[in-house]
Chains A and B, each alone.
Chain A
C-alpha cells in the first residue's frame, strides 16, 4: 500500500470507519495470522487470537497516535496477545532458548548442493522441519525471527515493538537463526531424521 493511501486509510480507521477497517484487515490479516499461528502453534487458537488482534485494533484505533508505524503497532498488539495467552496457560519458555545447541563460532557448511534457498523452500519435508524448529524455540527468539525474517521489520521497529534494545534484537535473531541452522544441518546430515 502506498504511503499516502495508507495514511488516509489510517485516518479513516481512527474515526472508526468500518469500511476502511475492512480494507485494513484485508491488508494485514494473512501476515498477522501467519505470525500468530507460529507463535501459538495451534491453528484454531491462532484464528481466535488473530480475531482478537483485529478487534483490539479496531477498539483502540482512536488512540493510535502515529508515533510508530501502524504495522509496528499492530504487531505489538499481536505480540502482547500471544504472550498473554501463553501466560494464561502457564506455559514457560521451552528448553531451546538463549542456550541453543548452536556453538559459538560454528558456521553452516554452504557447499552442500542441497543448500539452495529456492529448492529448500519447495521441499515439503524440510518446510516441516523448519516449522518444527521455529516452534521449539523460546518465544523471545521466535518472535524476533518472525518479525525480522518474515515480516521484514527493521531491527529498530522490532526493538520498538518489543521494547528491548536493538542489540538484544540482533542477538536474539542470531540465536534463532543459529538454532534453525543446527536443525537443518542435523536434518541434512542424518538423512532427513532431524
Chain B
C-alpha cells in the first residue's frame, strides 16, 4: 500500500463505502441521566461559586424538559445547593494545582510566578520605583 492514490481509490470502492455506511449506522448510546447529574456536580465543584449559581439557574429553565428536571431533582433534593467539594473534586483540584505549578514554573523561571502575578500586583504603579528602593 505504498501508493497513496491506490489507497484513496480503495477507500472509495463500493465495498469500503458500504462498510463506512454500516459503521456510521451503528446505534449510539446516550449516557444516563444519573451520569449527567454526577458530571454537573463535578463541574459545579470545579467552577467558582458564582458560576455554580448560573448552572442551577440554567437547570431550572423549563425548556430544558423533563429529563433535566429529573436530574435537577436529584441535585436539589439529595444534594446541597452549594457545590460540595468532598469526593471527586478535591483530588482533581490537587492534581491540577500541582500540574499547573510545574508547568508555569517552566515558563516563568526566575521571573514572577503565577501566584506572585496575582498577589503582588500593585493597584497603582509607584511613580519612581528607584526612589523607593535604593539600588547600589
Contacts and interface: CB of A to CB of B under 8 A. Distances in A.
In the complex, A touching B, CB below 8 Å?
A: yes
Interface of A: 16-19, 21-22, 25, 29-31, 33-34, 37, 43, 47, 50-51, 54-55, 58-59, 104, 107-108, 110, 115, 117-118, 120-121, 127, 130-131, 134, 145-146, 148-150, 152, 167, 170-171, 173-174, 177-178, 180-181, 184
Contacts of A51: 35, 38-39, 42
A167 B10 CA distance: 13
Nearest to A106: B15
A115 B10 CA distance: 18
Nearest to B10: A174
Contacts of B19: 108, 149, 177, 180-181, 184
B40 interface: yes
A25 B47 CA distance: 15
- Chain B's interface: helix, strand, loop or mixed, by majority? helix
Given A29-B36, A130-B22, 20 more contacts: A18-B47, A18-B52, A19-B55, A19-B58, A30-B30, A50-B31, A55-B42, A59-B96, A104-B1, A108-B18, A115-B18, A121-B22, A149-B23, A150-B26, A152-B24, A170-B4, A177-B11, A178-B16, A181-B19, A184-B22
Contact of B28 (A25, A34, A181): A34
A174 B8 CA distance: 9
Interface residues of B, number: 45
A18 B51 contact: yes
A104 B1 CA distance: 8
Nearest to A43: B29
B85 interface: no
B15 A29 contact: no
B42 A107 contact: no
B115 interface: no
